[in-house]
Structure 1
Amino acid sequence: MAGTPTLAVVLDGLSTAGLATGCRHGVPWYVAHLGGHIVAALADPDRPLTDGLADALERVAALHPQCDLGNPGTPSATVAILRHRHGFLDHLVIADSPIVFEGPEGYTVISDLRVDDVLPDLRAEVERHETHTQRHREALQRLVQAQRQVRNTPDGYWVASTSPEAAEHALTGATAIGHVHSAAVLSDGVSRLVTEYEMATWPEVFATLREGGPRELIEAVRKVEATDPTGRRWPRYKSGDDAAVAFCQW
């Protein structure tokens, strides 16, 4: 996660499932550098978010040309960006880290779920097995290996990786700030408390954020996951995914 007083950026590195990436640096290195370069690229408040993301992708790729950037498993991440500019909130979302607006008429969720439309049979196979088992690990590796073949292609889904072209496929838009009381930029490791676990509503999430901040919300997610450590109630890729939240109020 990175940001400034007018910019919030949440990134979530994609799981490698233990498979080779062709990069000696790893996903955490990639996410840290991409976040910093996105903030730098958007220092000009009038620069389109897609241009800033494309520039950041290109610059991070240039940092490690010695790695195999053509490897389909090269480090990559989801991206969610929210910016306050001239009375509007600009947003950009690529992959499944959502942005949620709280307004006078309720809650608006902006999320890119194209990944859910690909390889449903392999996804179902992963969910048939409990986490921390050999069958689960093997099924997850088969899924990730297959996802890599359609990642950043017209027939698949898009993530931030090495090519600036991915920025052109992000979901973008602008919302008048007068229509928004507050907003949350989240990784899917947090949003699943509502979307997958169904153990909270968006009004409850925003109440928690106002009262206890992001840390309390993440703790609530972890408490729920602790009741189902092997994924029997809520089948998933891992017991607990990376969790990040940026809470914005005006």
Structure 2
Amino acid sequence: MPEIAVAEAAGVGLGGQWRPSEDVVLVMPDAVVLLDGATSMRDDLPSGGVFAGELGAQVVARMAAAPELDLGDLLAGAIRSVARGNGFTPGDSPCSTVAIVRWDDEVVEALVLADSPVVAFAPEADVLADTRLRHVPRGSYRDRLRRGGGYSADHVAALRASARKTSALRNQEGGYWVAEAVPAAAHRAVRRVWPRQDVRSVLMASDGVSCGVDDYRLFGWEQVLDLATASGPQAVLDVVREAEREDPEGLKWPRPKPHDDQALVVISF
């Protein structure tokens, strides 16, 4: 079994208060599952973290019971089960990203649905990322932050308005795909397979960590692996957090919250 190191840290809620992380990491003997529950903009639905926890448990149970099952089929079944069990319907459900890495003696395979990337070093960095959400209009809250509006009640209102627009494009052609109440979304995930003999390490990250690469440009994925290998994955989370503390009002890096939940997994083969 490869060596697996995990680091997690909670972010803040919409009001800026610290609360339990809505990221979920589940480790199996031959797989790792990472989910990032979306912050809920509605009070009448369970939190994204609760949804991610239930969906992750379904994925792990199905993988253990039928290890030969295709990852897309497995995830579709898990989404269907959670939606039916809770009465969720498309548009009236929490949602979550999903990243799965599974391996055997021959291959390492990965599935990514929404913005929780997987990076395989085979031997160079090969990034598996679902970038469709990045192309969806995000509304005016980013412009407001750039103008110095800060994380006030007006920001939360602007963020909720943006979320309503974004949600209309969820699990739609021309929009983006995420684990919610549409099982078919699982088959819209991005996938990749690498020969196991070529893979030295794999990183899995929620967007509270990948933002350090994609948005803040603090380091590249090779540097993330180097730092995590030398000092542990928590060191990577700390670098991202420190950068955010230096931009407390989102002027430099407009983002929904001052601090997002963070999860980073390092799999060393």
TM-score of the two chains, using structure 2 as the length reference: 0.84
Show structure 2 runs of 5+ residues with no match.
1-24
Helix, strand or coil at the partner of 1:244: strand
Runs of 4+ displaced beyond 3 Å:
120-131
What is the alpha-carbon distance in structure 2 between the residues aligned to residue 222 and residue 247 of structure 1? 19
1-structure distance, mates of 2:78, 2:149:
38
Secondary structure in structure 1 of the residue aligned to 2:225: helix
What residue number does 1:32 align with? 53
Letter in 1 for 2:50: W
Please give the per-residue CA displacement for 1:198-248, whole angstroms capped at 9, x wherever unaligned: 111222210121123222221221111111111111111111111111110
CA distance, structure 2, for counterparts of residue 212 and residue 40 of structure 1: 33
Instruction: Report Cα offsets for 1:157-185 as digits up to 9, x if no partner.
Output: 10001121111111112111222210101
Matches within 5 A, 1:160-199: 160-199=179-218
Determine the C-alpha separation between the residues in 2 that align with 1:214 and 1:33. 25
1:14 maps to which residue? 38
Deviations 1:75-115 (A, max 9, x none): 100111110124111110011100011233x2111110101
TM-score, L = length of structure 1 = 0.90
Which structure 2 residues correspond to residues 61-72 of structure 1 after superposition, within 5 A? 61-65=83-87, 69-70=88-89, 72=91
Contact 1:197 1:234 in 2 (8 A): yes
Contact 2:76 2:184 in 1 (8 A): yes
Change (3 A) 1:3 1:126: farther
Aligned ranges for residues 13-162 of structure 1 at < 5 Å? Answer: 13-17=37-41, 19-20=42-43, 22-23=44-45, 25-43=46-64, 44-65=66-87, 69-70=88-89, 72-104=91-123, 106-119=124-137, 122=140, 124-125=142-143, 127-128=145-146, 130-162=149-181
**2:39·2:47 contact (CA, 8 Å) conserved in 1?**
no
Alpha carbons 1:126, 1:140 under 8 Å: kept: no
Kindly indicate whether the alpha-carbon contact (under 8 Å) linking 1:131 and 1:239 is maintained by their aligned counterparts in 2: no
Residue pair 2:141, 2:155 contacting (<8 A) in 1 also: no
Q: Alpha-carbon deviations, 1:116-175, whole Å to 9, x = none?
A: 112255465455354412332222111101111110111211000112111111111211
Question: Does structure 2 retain, via aligned residues, the 8 Å contact 1:231–1:239?
Answer: yes
- Aligned letter for 1:28? G
Once superposed, what is the RMSD of the aligned Cα atoms? 1.8
The answer (yes or no) to whether the contact 2:209–2:264 under 8 Å persists in 1 is: yes
| 1:102 to 1:123, Cα distance in 2 relative to 1, 3 A | farther
Cα distance, 1:131–1:63 mapped onto 2, change above 3 Å: farther
